Amino acid sequence: MKYLLAAVLLAGAVAGFSEAASAAGGCGPGWYRGPYGGCRPMGGPVVVAPAAPVVVVAPRPRVCPWGFRWWAGRCRPV
């Protein structure tokens, strides 16, 4: 039972460290940590995904005059 617990803990530690190693030291894709801790670019081109389109939400035009509200298919007084 001790060996099974040790094997599970070892497998969890290996899985945890393998994901952290692909983070490139926190600099991002195409960059690496230099000798003094700063982020430096790698030698090749860096491919960056285009930004998401901007969504503009316009306010809905007023259907009923002031003092009325749209209810049950027509303008009714408040």
What is the structure's pLDDT at 24? 58
pLDDT band at 62 (very low <50, low <70, confident <90, very high): confident
Q: What is the pLDDT of residues 5-28, one digit of tens each?
A: 667 666 666 665 555 445 557 888
Pairing of strands 68-71, 74-77: antiparallel
DSSP 10-74: HHHHHHHHHHHHTTGGGT-TTEEE-TTS-EEE-SS----PPPPPP---PPPPP-SPTTEEEETTE
pLDDT band at 60 (very low <50, low <70, confident <90, very high): confident
Is the overall model pTM greater than 0.75, yes or no?
Answer: no
pLDDT at 46 over 70: no
Q: Tell me the pLDDT of the chain averaged across its residues.
A: 76
